[in-house]
Amino acid sequence: MNPSTEPVLADKGEDGVLVVTLNRPEARNAVNDALAAAAAAIMRDFDADPRLRVCVLTGAGGGFSAGLDLKAFLRGEVGEDPERGFAGITRVPPRKPVVAAVEGFALAGGFEIVLACDLVVASRDARMGLPEVRRGLVADGGGLLQMPRRLPANVAMEIALTGAEVLPGRLHELGLVNVVAEPGQALDQALILARAIARNAPLGVLASKDVLTASPSWDPDQAWERQHGLVSPVWKSDDAEEGARAFAEKRAPRFSGR
């Protein structure tokens, strides 16, 4: 198959960063079953490949994603992977960090994909939101579950119930968007962020994400114990020894992920 016709593209960089591109620009990168299956397979491989440390997720053709392909929906497609959910990511995201690079638009399910990512870089003129209620639908691809965790409750309610678009500048002020980039620069800025993460110790990065993701649901009386269970292997790792040795020798560490 010609790579340009594949619904999702994956570019494995030598710097440990995987760039994943939703590749249906003729359909505004809308999600059909083929795209969801391809994205899910790529995300599984990403988590399994020790050479890859961070994923940057973007869209082809100047836009991120318009969400579910409604033409495919009328044919009975739902754009979901049975295990990983909508677009192969919203129900079960990768354990490793994912950075969204948003140009143009991330609407409906496209915004739900963004909410499934750990960090967000968006061009200042990008349009984002959940317009499902305007189409007789409900944003059940993870957006209604993620927004209250990522945004103030009243703002999440506003976005969900009005279906109005929200600019990245406002989402940056509210803490969802990490970096507001100039138009056309979202991918470059996301790569800067991803490479800064990829330079760090893989085990430490994974454990940090695990704690940050899981701890909001922990019983406060058990939080320290549960954190210890996740992070104690890192302190005993080869990378912990290498980090200390590199600091003492005043050189850059060479982390192995062990």
Enumerate the active-site residues: 112, 132
Q: Which two tokens stand for residue 91?
A: 């129900």
> Do β-strands 119-123 and 179-181 pair in parallel, antiparallel, or remain unpaired?
parallel
∠146-148-152 over CA atoms, to 5°? 135
Helices 202-214/223-235 angle, 10° precision:
170
What DSSP designation does 31 have? B
Question: Phi, psi at residue 89, to the nearest 5°?
Answer: -150, -25
Q: Determine contact, residues 123/140, Cβ cutoff 8 Å.
A: no
CB atoms within 10 A of CB 221: 7
Q: Where are the beta strands (DSSP E) in 166-242?
A: 179-181
Q: Sort strands 98-102 and 80-81 into parallel, antiparallel or unpaired.
A: unpaired
Quote the CA–CA distance of 182 and 91 in Å, as a whole number: 30
